[in-house]
Structure 1
Amino acid sequence: MQIVIGDILKADDLASVRKALANVRFIDGKETAGFAARRVKDNQQADASDRSLDPARALVAKRIMDNELFGMAVRPKQLSGLLFSRYEPGMQYGVHVDDALMQGMRTDVAFTLFLDDPADYDGGELVIEAPGGDDEIKLPAGSMIAYPATTLHRVAQVTRGHRHVVAGWARSFVRDPAQRELLFDLDTARRIMFSRDGKSAEFDLISKSLANLMRMWVDD
């Protein structure tokens, strides 16, 4: 399941992150790529050893983990270290699949948080391959897409301006993506029912089923 989540970062958050990025050192993105992805990765990443970025990294992680929709869709147990990436004109990231393990953590869900206004750069779409055709994603600043880390995907070449994003991965309490989607649908349905009818016998039954499916499927 793919899900777009708007306003992960508000205007003040974006200003704070952009200010931090303006003063950090960027390095060749190939340094954090696997042996195969290294051949198709052409971008820059904020130097992870630069501690000045820690407050921005902590802020973004908190906003993501505190987001209710992200919690429902991903059931996150843990986030990886966040990567702050920059693409200059001519840069792109070819087709690749993310590593199954990062920093000793299983990667179930990948996410990309956009930091620039789409009008400020051309190209740079996140392209996710799917049986029905490629999905091209380019979101407003502060918005994020989360998608299964199992997919082949790429970043289209940037032809004007600069593209800044935060990339990261989540380990989910629920490993199976189909199970996560079913839990998301049930949780969404019961919340709609509660907002419309309040607490009811039907709401209680759906809540019971949701809780018991979680007990069956959660890997704690």
Structure 2
Amino acid sequence: MVALIGPNGGGKTSLLRAIAGAEEASGSVRIAGERLTAVGSRRSRLLGFMSSSREIGWEIPVADAIALGTGPISAERLGELFERFELGPLADRPVTRLSTGERSRVLMARAVAGAPLVLLLDEPLSNLDPYWVLQFLGAMRERAEEGGCVLCALHDLSLLPRFDRAVLVSDGAIQADAAASLIQDHPRFGAIFRVQPDERGGWEVRPPEGRRSSP
């Protein structure tokens, strides 16, 4: 499980969308030796992507929304996803009539439906209550323990201990790549986020470089 962290506008979303092929970028992406643009219908087995946008433009049932872009899903697999993300009570409701948090559950189910080797998640924990934050983290850990790689854009730095590795992105480039437990000690961390740990275990604004305390 890899946390993709960085300030707003630093390039996290652009990186995820470039890997997923959701926006034009130079270079190519290979997963397990296969070029992503050449795998056709097997794409959902290699890559799952959840955008930061929770908008779904079609008034379709939850089951159909999960199947969008993933190819055929067996009734057994669909049942597993409905149970894992507690979607049964929402089954007959069009996705356009769900709350943002409910749509997040549908889109997460869609992202993991094919048990992809690489799971790209852009701020998946936004707009979730604590229960679903923990459930989503559990689903990510399951995918990692099953042999997948999870790359998750994350804003809540208090959740870093839940991840194995952290990649710090700023100014459109990777600034640091370290164990999640060590990333806050990286010399670039404080300067990029402009915060520092406080006495209560939280964060406080970091004084600008060169500012001196009053005598």
Give the TM-score normalised by structure 1: 0.27
Relative contact order, CA 8 A, sep 6+: which one is greater?
A: 2
Normalized per residue, the structure richer in strand is 1
